[in-house]
């Protein structure tokens, strides 16, 4: 087995178990790490000031970050120096492991790992036994035969509970109206053999946690150690030898919430959980077979009744007692208390994109610029989203955000570059302040530009104004803005034209107002006109044509003094007076 990363949750599990007074071997087993690895993390925590009487509240994100930084080695190929020293002798170790025949026909039997270790020491190669054993298994074909087994003692009351999934049969799903395979997650108390069955359509982590929550309510408490099969939600990568299984981060987080430890069974080793293996056929044959269920909820309700009244009241063949009675008498008082409701978080590894945000559950969260392009480990529950550094030397808390719904966004302006923060957050006040920093008139001009029902639609105009400041300097732009404000002209294009033609310093000359001889009040404005300009001469009546009918129009003449006159009807006879 090669070197693997130890997650932040696993480091926290090591420290939590150690603070409870557990030895290093149980600590390593609970966290799913090697004992030597657990020892290194405990020693690093002690060097950082952690003591066994400090309490669980002392295991903070800062302490875990210091421990991870102090312990995790840099292994570019996933293995240490001892493994590298064995690569040059791989062929020789393979011959020792599998046995070989020399050129002269002498047959040599396979050697044990202990003997191979001794031979390597004679050659000046000293490596740990565990490293040599893993090397022989992974690269040299070393394997042990299947031996006999023994009956394991039941253990103390309220300590062990074995878990296993079993397929039951088909049931119609009312949502999809299709028949689906029903999975039964079976919990069996090792000492009393009392059991609980949780039915579902899947084997996800959410399903397993939901089954555990229902089981704690059924039993009235939680067992101290759970012995599951190699369920993918619990053990995503099982160890073929069963020495160092890797537990999922989500399962470890739930174990920390409840307070139990996990001891997974080995691959293809049903003898590691014989109590639950024996009842799989009993549940399938006695509870499910021959029954009809309306839906999954009906099946679950009847399963709980069956566990209490049928399976719980039978005389068990080994204990010769009723499981319900034995559980109530011996184990019920030894269980851990039922924990508060668990807020199942989302664990994922995300990448910081070039917009300084990461996506978690279809929502966006900002990250400081220093982590742009890197991967981070995310933990998101219903309230908070926490981001940690990932990879070797990771584990440090980077950012904390309030949880957002899908499509939501949480952006801290401090995470964005200073020159982009205002644009990204549509901060109009900040944008006006930037403009005012270049000049008073520029700031006022920006306020005029943003004086709109939809001010954010005018932000590009303000950014163009800032661009003119970078091109021509703040002085000319401030002067041009002052001239435009005097003339009540609010247009960045006009400012750009003035700066391009260098006319921002020229005062525009208005046309002189004429003096009217008619005595008309000249204060009407610069566009006033002499009333005589609007006068029109009366046109003579058209010449009548004997063969064509024409109509005449009334002509109006504007006379200074405000009076009007019309031509008489005699001069312009109406069409009705036409003798035709």
Query: Under a CB-based contact definition with an 8 Å cutoff, are residues 337 and 382 in contact?
Result: no
Domain end marker among 305, 334, 363: 334
Residues 410 and 430 in one domain: no
Looking at residue 576, its pLDDT comes to: 44
Does the pLDDT value for residue 503 go beyond 90? no
Has residue 468 been placed in a domain?
A: yes
The string of pLDDT tens digits covering residues 159-210 is 999 999 999 989 988 888 889 999 999 999 999 999 999 999 999 999 999 9
Distance CA 311, CA 48 (A): 52
Has residue 269 been placed in a domain?
A: yes
The string of pLDDT tens digits covering residues 535-566 is 766 666 665 555 444 445 555 555 555 444 44
Q: 498: left (phi > 0), else alpha (psi -120 to 50), else beta?
A: alpha
Q: Hey, which of 41-55, 306-320, 487-501 has the most confident mean pLDDT?
A: 306-320
CATH of the domain at 301: 3.30.420.10
In the DSSP assignment, the letter for residue 191 is T
Residues 244 and 189 in one domain: yes
Distance CA 78, CA 1 (A): 10
Please report which residue ranges of 270-408 form alpha helices under DSSP H: 274-282, 296-306, 323-326
The candidate with the shortest Cα–Cα distance to 4, out of 32, 42, 45, is 32
Q: How far is CA 314 from CA 216, 264, 310, 327, in A?
A: 22, 29, 6, 13
Looking at residue 5, its pLDDT comes to: 58
Give me the residues paired with residue 227 across strands.
162
| Rg (alpha carbons) of the chain, rounded to whole number | 44
- Residues above pLDDT 90, as percent of the chain: 32
Has residue 555 been placed in a domain?
A: no
Residue 129, classed as helix, strand or coil, is helix
Looking at residue 352, its pLDDT comes to: 94
Q: What is the DSSP string of 464-523?
A: HHHHHHHHH-HHHHHHHHHHHHHTT---HHHHHHHHHHT-TTSPPPPPPPPPPTT---GG
| Mean local confidence (pLDDT), 33-43 | 84
What does the block give as tokens for 308?
């209490």
Has residue 34 been placed in a domain?
A: yes
Give me the residues paired with residue 37 across strands.
none
Distance CA 65, CA 302 (A): 48
Has residue 291 been placed in a domain?
A: yes
Place 2 in a pLDDT band, splitting at 50, 70 and 90.
very low
Residues 198 and 329 in one domain: yes
- Residues above pLDDT 70, as percent of the chain: 82
Q: Which residue has the higher pLDDT, 21 or 505?
A: 21
Residues 303 and 182 in one domain: yes
Distance CA 448, CA 491 (A): 10
Looking at residue 268, its pLDDT comes to: 78
Residues 174 and 252 in one domain: yes
The string of pLDDT tens digits covering residues 267-309 is 877 888 888 988 999 999 899 988 889 899 999 999 999 999 9
Query: Under a CB-based contact definition with an 8 Å cutoff, are residues 356 and 398 in contact?
Result: no
Place 486 in a pLDDT band, splitting at 50, 70 and 90.
confident
Has residue 546 been placed in a domain?
A: no
Q: How far is CA 158 from CA 18, 152, 194, 326, 428, in A?
A: 21, 16, 11, 12, 63
Looking at residue 565, its pLDDT comes to: 43
Distance CA 359, CA 519 (A): 77
Per the prediction, the chain carries an average pLDDT of 82
Distance CA 310, CA 316 (A): 12
Residues 64 and 194 in one domain: no
Looking at residue 255, its pLDDT comes to: 93
Q: Hey, CA dihedral for 247, 249, 254, 260, is it positive or negative? A: positive
Does the pLDDT value for residue 467 go beyond 60? yes
Place 365 in a pLDDT band, splitting at 50, 70 and 90.
very high
Distance CA 265, CA 245 (A): 9
The string of pLDDT tens digits covering residues 406-438 is 999 998 888 887 766 666 667 788 778 888 888
Does the pLDDT value for residue 319 go beyond 50? yes
Has residue 48 been placed in a domain?
A: yes
Looking at residue 239, its pLDDT comes to: 77
Looking at residue 67, its pLDDT comes to: 81
- HSE (side-chain half, CA atoms, 13 Å) at 149: 10
| Centroid of chain to Cα 385 | 7
Domain end marker among 445, 470, 501: 501
Looking at residue 14, its pLDDT comes to: 85
Query: Under a CB-based contact definition with an 8 Å cutoff, are residues 549 and 577 in contact?
Result: no
Global pTM value: 0.54
Distance CA 107, CA 182 (A): 55
Residues 214 and 322 in one domain: yes
Looking at residue 391, its pLDDT comes to: 78
Max CA separation in the chain (angstroms): 150
The total domain count for the chain is 5
Looking at residue 569, its pLDDT comes to: 42
| Mean local confidence (pLDDT), 344-368 | 92
Looking at residue 70, its pLDDT comes to: 74
What does the block give as tokens for 397?
């808390």
Looking at residue 302, its pLDDT comes to: 94
| Mean local confidence (pLDDT), 2-6 | 52
* Domain membership of residue 23 as a residue range: 8-71
Residue 68: other Cβ atoms inside 10 A: 23
Has residue 49 been placed in a domain?
A: yes
Residues 308 and 225 in one domain: yes
Please report which residue ranges of 332-458 form alpha helices under DSSP H: 418-425, 428-438, 440-449
Residues near 474 by beta carbon (within 8 Å), at least 6 away in sequence = 438, 439, 442
Residues near 375 by beta carbon (within 8 Å), at least 6 away in sequence = 349, 350, 351, 352, 390, 391
Q: Which residue has the higher pLDDT, 562 or 93?
A: 93
Does the pLDDT value for residue 345 go beyond 70? yes
Residues 184 and 287 in one domain: yes
Place 46 in a pLDDT band, splitting at 50, 70 and 90.
confident
Residues 267 and 135 in one domain: no
Burial of residue 83 (number of CB atoms within 10 Å: 0-12, 13-18, 19+): buried
Residues 323 and 200 in one domain: yes
Q: What is the DSSP string of 441-470?
A: HHHHHHHHHT-SSSGGGGHHHHHHHHHHHH
What does the block give as tokens for 501?
């033609």
Does the pLDDT value for residue 578 go beyond 50? no
Give me the residues paired with residue 388 across strands.
377, 397
What does the block give as tokens for 217?
């309510």
Residue 452: other Cβ atoms inside 10 A: 11
Domain end marker among 365, 384, 415: 415
Q: Which residue has the higher pLDDT, 530 or 45?
A: 45
Does the pLDDT value for residue 234 go beyond 60? yes
Residue 429, classed as helix, strand or coil, is helix
The string of pLDDT tens digits covering residues 104-129 is 777 888 888 888 998 999 999 999 99
Looking at residue 557, its pLDDT comes to: 53
Query: Under a CB-based contact definition with an 8 Å cutoff, are residues 224 and 20 in contact?
Result: no
Residues 200 and 271 in one domain: yes
């Amino acid at each position: 087995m090669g070197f693997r990363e130890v997650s932040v949750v696993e480091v926290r599990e090591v420290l939590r178990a150690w603070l409870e007074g557990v030895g290093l071997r149980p600590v390593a087993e609970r966290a799913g790490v090697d004992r030597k690895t657990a020892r290194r993390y405990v020693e690093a925590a002690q060097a950082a000031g952690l003591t066994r009487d400090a309490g669980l509240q002392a295991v903070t994100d800062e302490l875990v970050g210091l421990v991870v930084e102090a312990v995790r080695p840099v292994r570019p190929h996933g293995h240490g120096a001892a493994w590298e020293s064995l690569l040059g002798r791989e062929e020789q170790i393979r011959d020792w492991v599998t046995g070989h025949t020399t050129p002269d026909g002498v047959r040599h039997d396979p050697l044990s790992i202990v003997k191979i270790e001794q031979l390597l020491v004679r050659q000046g190669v000293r490596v740990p036994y565990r490293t040599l054993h893993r090397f022989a298994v992974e690269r040299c074909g070393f394997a042990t035969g299947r031996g006999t087994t023994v009956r394991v003692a039941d253990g103390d009351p309220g300590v062990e509970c074995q878990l296993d999934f079993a397929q039951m049969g088909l049931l119609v799903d009312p949502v999809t109206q299709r028949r689906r395979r029903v999975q039964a997650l079976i919990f069996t108390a090792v000492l009393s053999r009392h059991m609980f069955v949780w039915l579902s359509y899947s084997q996800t982590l959410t399903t397993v946690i939901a089954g555990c929550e229902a089981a704690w309510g059924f039993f009235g408490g939680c067992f101290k150690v759970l012995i599951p099969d190699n369920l993918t939600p619990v053990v995503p990568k099982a160890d073929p030898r069963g020495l160092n299984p890797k537990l999922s981060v989500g399962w470890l987080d739930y174990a920390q919430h409840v307070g139990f430890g996990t001891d997974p069974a080995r691959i293809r080793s049903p003898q590691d959980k014989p109590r639950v293996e024996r009842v799989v056929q009993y549940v399938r044959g006695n509870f499910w077979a021959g029954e009809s269920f309306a839906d999954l909820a009906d099946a679950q309700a009847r399963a709980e009744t069956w566990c209490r009244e049928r399976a719980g009241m039978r005389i068990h063949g080994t204990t010769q007692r009723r499981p319900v009675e034995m559980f109530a008498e011996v184990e019920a008082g030894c269980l851990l208390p039922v924990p508060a409701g668990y807020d199942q978080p989302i664990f994922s590894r995300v990448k910081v994109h070039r917009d300084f945000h990461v996506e978690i559950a279809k929502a966006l969260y900002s990250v400081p610029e220093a982590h742009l392009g890197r991967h981070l480990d995310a933990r998101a529950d219903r309230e908070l989203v926490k981001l940690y550094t990932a990879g070797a030397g990771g584990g440090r808390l980077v950012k904390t955000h309030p949880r957002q719904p899908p499509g939501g966004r949480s952006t801290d302006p401090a995470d964005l570059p200073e020159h982009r923060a205002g644009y990204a957050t549509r901060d109009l006040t900040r944008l006006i302040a930037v403009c005012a920093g270049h000049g008073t008139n520029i700031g006022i001009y920006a306020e005029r530009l943003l004086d709109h029902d939809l001010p954010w639609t005018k932000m590009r105009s303000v950014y163009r104004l800032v661009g003119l400041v970078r091109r021509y300097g703040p002085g000319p732009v401030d002067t041009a803005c002052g001239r435009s404000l005097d003339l009540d002209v609010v247009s960045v294009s006009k400012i750009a034209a003035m700066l391009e033609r260098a006319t921002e310093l020229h005062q525009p000359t208005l046309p002189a107002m004429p003096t009217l001889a008619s005595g008309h009040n000249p204060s009407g404005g610069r566009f006033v006109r002499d009333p005589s300009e609007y006068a029109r001469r009366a046109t003579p009546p058209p010449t009548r044509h004997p063969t064509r009918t024409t109509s005449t129009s009334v002509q109006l003449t504007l006379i200074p003094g405000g009076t009007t006159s019309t031509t008489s009807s005699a001069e312009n006879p109406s069409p009705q007076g036409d003798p035709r």
